[in-house]
Amino acid sequence: MFGDKDHKQGSLGADDGFELMQELEKNTPDEIVRQRAGYRHPVKASLTLQSGNASELLDYKIQGVTGDISTGGVSAMFPLPVRVGDVYRLEFDRQQLDLPLTFARCVMCTLVREGAYKCGFRFFASVCLPENIKTAAATAPVVQSWS
């Protein structure tokens, strides 16, 4: 399948197909939650998203708001869809959530309603969450109306 000499390019051998089906059957909601990198903290903080590629840095800048965060990733709402699989530069409002500039890959983007997209990002390196993570959720203002 993936460079095997016994299979034509694009074909799937019987053993490979069986293994892939077994792996897919393990992807239950409970298993996905179990595999998460760490506990998710609900937090509302401003977030700026830009391309992770230096050559595209000035092409766009999107403002959003976080929903929850862990040491391994963050979920956020944006007014425009984000490309799954791409690498992004995430800049948190340091007044609301004291985290440095972070690079992450978008692993999920779902349409909530027109003009509102929930996106999930996996950090390339674990982040150390600030001490005030619980108070950040209560004090952060709403960044944008999603109406």
Span 15-65, pLDDT tens digits: 677 777 777 777 666 665 555 545 778 888 999 999 888 888 788 899 999
Span 59-106, pLDDT tens digits: 889 999 998 988 889 999 999 999 999 999 999 998 888 888 999 999
The type of residue at 19 is E
120: nearest Cα among 54, 64, 57: 64
Q: Please, what's the b/e burial string for 53-77 (b: 16 or more CB within 10 A of its CB; e: otherwise)?
A: eeeeeeeeebebbbbbbbebbbbbb
Which pTM value belongs to this model? 0.66
- Report the distance separating Cα 99 and Cα 46, nearest Å: 12
Domains of the chain: residue spans and CATH: 1-35 (no CATH), 41-139 (2.40.10.220)
